[in-house]
Amino acid sequence: MPNTLLNNKSVGLVLSGGGVRGMAHIGLIKALREHGIEAQVVAGSSVGALVGALYANGNTVNEMLQFFRDTPLFQYSFFAIGKPGLIDTERYFSIFKKYFPTDDFASLNTPLYVVATDLMSGEEKVFHRGKLIHALLASAALTPFFSPVEIDGILYADGGIMNNFPKEYVENDCDYIIGSNVSIVGTLQKKELKNSLQLTGRVTGLMIYASSREKINQCDLLVEPQELAGIGVLDKKGIEKAFTLGYDHAMKKLESLRL
């Protein structure tokens, strides 16, 4: 139902990729619910797709956080054998099935758009109907850590490669767009660019940020905590901090709407 704080406008929620920093999305959702705001359509990429699916599924904030607390990132039994990537993404299917037992977009309470990258054609792919779990796994398959996910003979990987902030999939279905961007590039010291992995990560992050900047700035309300830059993308120890940063920043933004 449209909310009163935003003058009964229908709301679209856009959630970026960004690994563990994506717990800030959950902080935003907590703040929105405390202000009586619910989205009528959601779009997400990578971790944003996962949080968006949990939100669209009607899960509580605590259930969302627990999902990420309980989901292992680097577990010996999950190591990929005979596949590109360090971790076999398919091994997460059973974990996701506990939260999405029906495994279908149609089972969600809110329309959801999930973005992934077609590695074979080099094009963006948006999933909106049909099987849900493999679409989520594909969108979150961050290379080179997680193996690509095969869907109908096509290999898909992280949605953030092609579209880290899929605002275009909600803007025609709502009056007011709330965005959460957790792909923060920040400022680095020279000592933080000592090896090829660090350099690659930095350059990739800058390219993703640059490609999304215009769409991010077009949001009616944006939550983008710069302090997230201090949290590692795959550092599970940062879950609680990222969540708190998202919540605090969202509360300040929402309180300003009352002025």
CB 117 within 8 A of CB 161: yes
CB 119 within 8 A of CB 135: no
pTM of the model as a whole? 0.92
CB 214 within 8 A of CB 171: no
Per-residue tens of pLDDT for the chain, all 259 residues? 457 688 889 999 999 999 999 999 999 999 999 999 999 999 999 999 999 999 999 999 999 999 999 887 665 557 766 677 668 898 899 999 999 999 999 999 999 999 999 999 999 999 999 999 999 999 999 887 889 999 999 999 999 999 999 999 999 999 999 999 998 876 767 776 777 766 766 677 677 777 788 999 999 999 999 999 888 888 889 999 999 999 999 999 999 887 5
Query: Helix 47-56 and helix 23-34: axis angle, to 10°?
Result: 30
Please report where in the chains the tokens 């009163």 appear, as a residue: 4
Q: What domains, with CATH codes, occur in the chain?
A: 11-257 (3.40.1090.10)
Catalytic residue among 46, 139, 147, 180: 46
pLDDT at 77: 58
Residues 161, 163: Cα–Cα separation, whole Å:
6
Please report where in the chains the tokens 């900047």 appear, as a residue: 213
Q: Is 248 a catalytic residue?
A: no
SS3 103: coil
Q: What residues contact 91, with CB distance under 8 A and at least 6 apart?
A: 77, 78
Which residues does residue 135 pair with via DSSP β-bridges, in sequence order? none
Amino acid at 101: P
pLDDT at 80: 66
pLDDT at 216: 93
Q: What residues contact 27, with CB distance under 8 A and at least 6 apart?
A: 242, 243, 244, 245, 246, 247, 248, 249, 250
pLDDT at 91: 87
CB 81 within 8 A of CB 90: no
Catalytic residue among 139, 147, 158, 183: 158
Strands 41-45 and 11-15: parallel
Q: Is 46 a catalytic residue?
A: yes
Pick the closest to residue 133 from 78, 75, 89, 179 (CA basis): 89
Residues 40, 111: Cα–Cα separation, whole Å:
7
Report residue 53: phi and psi, to 5°.
Answer: -65, -40
